[in-house]
Chain A
């Protein structure tokens, strides 16, 4: 499937989304291939995954065809890297730290890091705002809702 797609860069670019979907469908089929399929009257756990896997592949091919054939396709929007990177970093830092240092520091870090997704962010403003947001989060989650998460690592 790769060969025909990459003859021309524009065609390759156009078929990217359908290609990813096709890859998902193929991986799904490969993983589910060894699940017991059973019979129509007594379906095993592998029956529906196989049907769905084939359906995804079929639709991915249809999408590739229609995207490549379409005369004036609206261009895929540009990726906003700054937002993507800092929002992801904020969430990953929360995930990495919440079990280690507790809720309050990880909330602070998540707010502070994700605020840099905005190009106007200034360190001092971030520090002040992240502290305020952490205070608000502590009041909401630990004082008002009493969530059973340790505030600080003991």
Chain B
């Protein structure tokens, strides 16, 4: 394990790869700071560019954008009360009051440091889990893959905020969109309304439409406050000894929750940060302080989302099963580079596998180093009005989608998905489950069909094979828990408060 990690480090320490790692985390931090552009938009914008790079470098850049955006996301939350990324929504709750209290510097430092510790713990768990998980994954057959995908899709729609029914409907809609094109097994054309769809709907079009274009439509006419003129003295940035001591356990708990929810397929950094905040409030001896700029309430979710951003790569790299929408895009990038993610990845391409993991280690150090010292630059970025930003994003989306397959149809489809995503959100449907269903759907169909073929339509194999049985048990437990918690939540709202 140590040897492999050192192998990875030797890959990353090549100057050229180190430069790409830096570019990745820098772009990630930058787009994380800007509200209205998330990691999904940025990664889909850069997907076409990665065709010109080798697989290792593209993975390092795209992954860097993802976990870099987790650092950047907290900055807009703290300074403007506007979450830069979905996973920094809870950061607003404690971060913004601190900033109104003229303690923005302290809040930014605590957020960056918690992010760093969370990220590092996540990387450590990833390194520890990689080999055992791959050994388990190598024993996965078609029934296990089918069940794991089902568990992931259930987790994506049942855990977290929003209506579970609506999320699940969106997962199924995503699976339906994934059916378009030639059937993998028989080559039969399904739902091919025009010849351009024969290869299926492009992942880039779907992601850029649902997340990029729809956000632009929503925000183009909205005025948002521009960044404050901020002067931070380094003296106010460092927490006192007493404050630092009060943060040790929140950060560790947050990292633990984050690592768990990150590694679970179907849940990602956003859910991890919500869970960590809720649990921290429950653990706290002073829950009444939450919401008023309480530092542990800031540290726990920030460490959680960064830990989750790293452990999210456990199912992605070892099983080839993406945990959330961003991971789905990263898997898509690997496949476009001609690499099939799965347990063979570690065995066949150790340099890629461990190089990418080691780049997380290096990337987190770079992020800590560029976060607080460059705070003036990030504040300056926040002063760019969105009205100047969105036309440029539109052009980048258009050119990115068009150059991907030199297809005008893809550009029009992107717009169609953009309008769909915009209308969906107006009616309280979340777009992220659509993307997850789209990527996981073909995997589910392929493995389910194969399992039924091999085991002659015998459904009991899902229960008699041990790993599959565990996955079925987890799925059932998840459904039971979801039903139980929704019933108990309903009871609470019906009863008058005592």
Residues of A with Cβ closer than 8 Å to B? 16-17, 21, 24, 28, 31-32, 35-36, 39-49, 52-53, 55-56, 59-60, 62-63, 66, 74, 76-77, 79-80, 82-84, 86-88, 90-92, 94-96, 98-99, 103, 106-107, 110-111, 114-115, 117-121, 129-130, 133, 136-137, 141, 145, 147-149
Question: Cβ of B336 < 8 Å from any Cβ of A?
Answer: no
Contacts known (A17-B427, A32-B191); A83 close to B391, Cβ less than 8 A: no
Partner of B392, one of A32, A136, A148: A136
Q: Is the CB of B387 within 8 A of A56?
A: no
Q: Is the CB of B218 within 8 A of A83?
A: yes
Q: Is the CB of A35 within 8 A of B188?
A: yes
Q: Is the CB of A45 within 8 A of B172?
A: no
Q: Provide the residues of chain B in CB contact with A80, threshold 8 Å.
A: 217-218, 220-222
Partner of B449, one of A21, A43, A82: A43
Contacts known (A45-B186, A118-B220); A107 close to B399, Cβ less than 8 A: yes
Q: Is the CB of A52 within 8 A of B394?
A: no
Taking the nearest CB of chain A, how far is it from the CB of B416, in angstroms?
Answer: 9
Q: Provide the residues of chain A in CB contact with B20, threshold 8 Å.
A: none
Q: Provide the residues of chain A in CB contact with B183, threshold 8 Å.
A: 45
Question: Cβ of B464 < 8 Å from any Cβ of A?
Answer: no
Question: Cβ of B353 < 8 Å from any Cβ of A?
Answer: no
Residues of B with Cβ closer than 8 Å to A? 48-49, 52, 163, 165-166, 168-169, 172-173, 175-176, 179, 183, 185-186, 188, 190-191, 213, 216-222, 387-388, 390-392, 394-399, 402-403, 406, 408, 411-412, 414-415, 418-419, 422-423, 426-429, 445, 448-449, 452-453, 456-457
Q: Is the CB of A95 within 8 A of B411?
A: yes
Contacts known (A21-B173, A36-B188); A87 close to B394, Cβ less than 8 A: yes
Give the docked Cα–Cα distance between A95 and B411 (Å).
6
Q: Is the CB of A111 within 8 A of B394?
A: yes
Closest to A108 in B: B395
Q: Is the CB of B221 within 8 A of A59?
A: no
Q: Provide the residues of chain B in CB contact with A41, threshold 8 Å.
A: 452-453, 456-457
Q: Is the CB of B218 within 8 A of A129?
A: no
Taking the nearest CB of chain A, how far is it from the CB of B249, in angstroms?
Answer: 37
Q: Is the CB of B457 within 8 A of A40?
A: yes
Contacts known (A52-B179, A114-B390); A82 close to B221, Cβ less than 8 A: yes
CB<8 Å pairs between A and B, sample of 15? A32-B191, A45-B190, A46-B190, A48-B448, A52-B179, A63-B169, A66-B165, A87-B216, A88-B418, A91-B398, A95-B398, A107-B395, A110-B395, A117-B220, A137-B399
Q: Is the CB of A129 within 8 A of B391?
A: yes
Partner of B173, one of A24, A74, A103, A129: A24
Q: Is the CB of B220 within 8 A of A83?
A: yes
Taking the nearest CB of chain A, how far is it from the CB of B48, in angstroms?
Answer: 8
Q: Is the CB of B402 within 8 A of A149?
A: yes
Partner of A91, one of B163, B168, B191, B411: B411
Give the docked Cα–Cα distance between A124 and B286 (Å).
57
Q: Is the CB of A39 within 8 A of B457?
A: yes
Contacts known (A118-B220, A137-B395); A98 close to B408, Cβ less than 8 A: yes
